[in-house]
Homo-oligomer: A and B are copies of this chain.
Amino acid sequence: MDIQEKFNLITRNLQEIITKDELEELLKTKKELSVYWGTMPTGSISIAYFFPMLKIADFLKAGLKVKILIADLHAALDGVPFDLLEKRTAYYKRAIILILETIGVDIKKLEFVRGRDFQLNGKYFEDVLKLAMVSNVRNCKKAASEVVKMAENPLLGNLIYPIMQALDEEYLQVDIQYGGLDQRKVMVYARENLPKIGYKPRIELITPMIRGLIGEKMSSSIESTKIDLLDDENTLRRKINKAECIEGNPNNGIMSLLKYLIMVLKEDAKESFIVERPEKFGGTVEYSSYEEIEDDFVSKRLHPLDLKNAVAKELNTLLERIRNDKELLDIHKKAYE
Interface, chain A (partner B; CB < 8 A): 73, 76-77, 79, 82, 116, 119-126, 128-140, 151, 153-157, 159-160, 163
CB distance from A141 to the nearest CB of B (A): 8
Q: How far is the CA of A140 from the CA of B159 in the complex (A)?
A: 12
Of the residues B120, B133, B151, contact of A126 by C-beta under 8 Å? B120
Q: How far is the CA of A138 from the CA of B159 in the complex (A)?
A: 13
Question: What is the total number of copies of this protein in its complex?
Answer: 2
Q: Is the CB of A157 within 8 A of B129?
A: yes
Q: Is the CB of A156 within 8 A of B140?
A: yes
List chain B residues, Cβ under 8 A from A138: 153
Q: How far is the CA of A116 from the CA of B153 in the complex (A)?
A: 30
Of the residues B130, B131, B136, B163, contact of A153 by C-beta under 8 Å? B136
By beta carbon, the residue of chain B nearest A130 is B82
Q: Is the CB of A160 within 8 A of B132?
A: yes
Q: Which of A79, A121, A131, A137 has the most CB of B within 10 A?
A: A137
By beta carbon, the residue of chain B nearest A78 is B133
CB distance from A132 to the nearest CB of B (A): 4
Q: Is the CB of B120 within 8 A of A136?
A: no
Q: Is the CB of B133 within 8 A of A155?
A: yes
Q: Tell me what chain A mostly uses at the interface: helix, strand, loop, or mixed.
A: helix
Q: Is the CB of A156 within 8 A of B130?
A: no
Q: Is the CB of B156 within 8 A of A126?
A: no
Q: Is the CB of A73 within 8 A of B126?
A: yes
Q: Is the CB of B120 within 8 A of A132?
A: no
CB distance from A249 to the nearest CB of B (A): 43
Q: How far is the CA of A119 from the CA of B131 in the complex (A)?
A: 17
Q: Is the CB of B125 within 8 A of A137?
A: no
Given A132-B155, A159-B159, output 17 extra A-B contacts at Cβ < 8 Å: A76-B133, A79-B133, A116-B126, A120-B123, A125-B128, A129-B160, A132-B157, A133-B156, A133-B157, A136-B153, A136-B155, A137-B154, A137-B156, A156-B156, A156-B159, A156-B160, A160-B160
By beta carbon, the residue of chain B nearest A80 is B133
Q: How far is the CA of A124 from the CA of B119 in the complex (A)?
A: 12
Q: Is the CB of B136 within 8 A of A151?
A: yes
Also in contact, A120 and B130, with CB within 8 A (given A135-B155, A159-B156)? no
List chain B residues, Cβ under 8 A from A154: 136-137
